[in-house]
Chains A and B, each alone.
Chain A
Amino acid sequence: MRKAPFLAASSVALGIGLLAMPGIASADTGNSYQAQLAPLNHSTASGTFMLTLNGSQATITEHVDGLAATFGGKPYPHVQHIHIGAQGNCPTASADKDGDGVVSTTEGAGNYGGIGTTLSTSGDTSPAAGTTLTVAPSGASFDYKRTITLDDKTLAALKGGTGVVVVHGLDPATLSAKAQAAKSDLVPALPLAATSPALCGALTTSQMSMPSGAAATGGGSTAGLQDEGLIAGGAALVAAGAVAGGLALRRRSSTAR
């Protein structure tokens, strides 16, 4: 028992030591990661990405705006992944080695690495589903929310700070003539625009265990009409007065008879 103050002091010291590390999660629900998605390749899109881990279960909430809207008359499929295994950051225009004005997925790999997890709308989330357009979220803007199991490699990348979210699919009209004519470096049957990165964001540990959305901090007693009881009581008094007055008048008329 005599050791207790010493233990307390050392745990305070430990607490201060931990402070130096970014994003200690004192969470009861696991660690959160976040990424601000920034445009690449003349895209004007933007997005936010949040991921909360519970063991190897990742609950992902993502919102994007301003992507290419249609592809061949249909909603544009935007394949998206957590890339892993490289520097854990996003490329700049200098990564465009062939000078066609587009940082292709392959050209950016030096920064963000290869596919660790495919952020598909259903089914397979492995790298094998990386270019399956039928399970890609689509359209100019979308909300993506899914709970998936992450493999050990992606988990390690998150913890090591080398996970990067990349959303693919450019509007061909924004590209040079040469790039518009080029084939995809990943799927030769597709144009280069279809698989090139449009949004990119490095995943960082959140400073808090991220809650989802809004808070229910109101019960509504000060909204609308208040003190309804008092008003009803007042109305009852007025009504009683009216009845009493009516009675008095009736008596008078009966006595006047």
Chain B
Amino acid sequence: MSQDEQRGPSPRPVARLRLVAAAVLLVLVGAAVIVVALTHQRHAPQPPASAAGTPAASSAPGIPAGSGAAGKTRTAPAPAVAPLPRATPVHLDVPAIGVSSDLLQLGLNPDHTLEVPPLSRDSKAGWYRGSPTPGELGPSVFLGHVDSAEYGAGVFFRLGKLRPGDTVTVRRTDHTAATFRVTRVASYPKNRFPTLEVYGNTDDAELRLITCGGAFDSSARSYLNNIVVYASLVGSRAG
């Protein structure tokens, strides 16, 4: 020991101390990073179980899952409002879930499935141009991503949190803002998607907001469900 100290006076114990300190620091920082990562896991909200599955079940009034606003979760019959003239939508606002998105126009893929918005950092919602414009008679269809593998949460990440009574406003090229009220929120397995119920004719002006939900099939890189929000026109104003 004395020989060592004579050869190299003090650097070694100091270096050792530094190394130990560095080791402790690395372990602490590493552990902190892991804790931060694990506490920042985000998962898209899903509609209540009562909204899942069959059309019959989804149209039944839902039992509120621990929410105070019992009346809001019931299927709210929207008053019939006369449809608006045709006008292309430009902007979508869903205040209850913090959505404010300019709109893309979407068509159909060659296999007749709906085209979806491109995956990008600035996730936008899109209107299917083969459907009625919002406010026109019939179901006007809007799509948004719940998330993307590269960019994280998408514009409709919280769509499953909407409940009957929440409002959706669409600004249109004729400078009107059409307001819709959510009537129900449903989750359908993609392999049993009730096409006619979602896209079929309606007696009033309605909206369909669609995103993905349910469990994620990582081998198919796809969610197993679609979340569909149904809303009916309740009014419009210049805007």
Chain A residues proximal to chain B, CB less than 8 Å? 15-16, 18-19, 22-29, 34, 36, 48, 50, 52, 59, 61, 204, 206-227, 230-231, 233-245, 247-248, 251-252, 255-256
A218 and B223 contacting across the interface, CB-CB below 8 Å: yes
A212 and B132 contacting across the interface, CB-CB below 8 Å: no
What chain A residues lie within 8 Å of B16 (beta carbons)? 248, 251-252, 255
What chain B residues lie within 8 Å of A209 (beta carbons)? 108, 130-131
Could you say which of B29, B34, B136, B221 has the most chain A C-beta atoms within 10 Å of its C-beta?
B34
Closest Cβ of chain B to A233, distance in Å, is 6
Q: List 24 A-B residue pairs with CB atoms under 8 Å apart, sorted by A's residue number.
A: A16-B85, A22-B137, A23-B201, A25-B130, A209-B130, A211-B141, A213-B195, A216-B113, A217-B116, A217-B211, A218-B148, A218-B212, A219-B149, A220-B218, A221-B150, A223-B43, A231-B37, A237-B26, A237-B30, A238-B27, A238-B30, A239-B30, A248-B23, A255-B12
CA distance A216 to B214 in the complex (A): 12
What chain A residues lie within 8 Å of B136 (beta carbons)? 19
B196 and A237 contacting across the interface, CB-CB below 8 Å: no
**10 residue pairs, one from A and one from B, having the closest CB atoms:** A237-B30, A207-B138, A241-B26, A218-B212, A223-B216, A234-B33, A245-B23, A238-B30, A209-B130, A241-B27
B130 interface neighbour in A27, A215, A233, A248, Cβ under 8 Å? A27
B113 interface neighbour in A19, A214, A234, Cβ under 8 Å? A214
A222 and B226 contacting across the interface, CB-CB below 8 Å: no
CA distance A24 to B226 in the complex (A): 27
Which B residues between 212 and 236 are near A, CB-CB below 8 angstroms?
A: 212-213, 215-216, 218, 221-223, 226
B112 and A211 contacting across the interface, CB-CB below 8 Å: yes
A207 and B119 contacting across the interface, CB-CB below 8 Å: no
What chain A residues lie within 8 Å of B168 (beta carbons)? none
B222 interface neighbour in A34, A52, A210, A220, Cβ under 8 Å? A220
Closest to A229 in B: B37
Closest Cβ of chain A to B189, distance in Å, is 8
A241 interface neighbour in B25, B44, B144, Cβ under 8 Å? B25
B195 and A221 contacting across the interface, CB-CB below 8 Å: no
Closest to B26 in A: A241
CA distance A204 to B25 in the complex (A): 72
What chain B residues lie within 8 Å of A213 (beta carbons)? 113, 190, 193, 195
Whether B65 is near chain A, meaning CB under 8 Å from some CB there, is: no
CA distance A27 to B106 in the complex (A): 11
